[in-house]
Structure 1
Amino acid sequence: MSKIWRTSTASSVVLQILKKKKAVNDTDLYEMLKEMFGDFGFREFNKLLMSMEIRGLILVSSLVRGKRRVELVDSKR
Structure 2
Amino acid sequence: MLNALGVTVIFLIVIFMEVPGLIKKKKTKEVVAFFILVAIGYTLNLLVAFDVKITATNKLIEMLMKPIEKIWGK
User: Does TM, scored on the shorter chain, surpass 0.5?
Assistant: no
Task: Judging by fraction of residues, say which structure has more strand.
Answer: 1
User: TM-score, normalised on structure 1?
Assistant: 0.28
Task: Judging by fraction of residues, say which structure has more helix.
Answer: 2
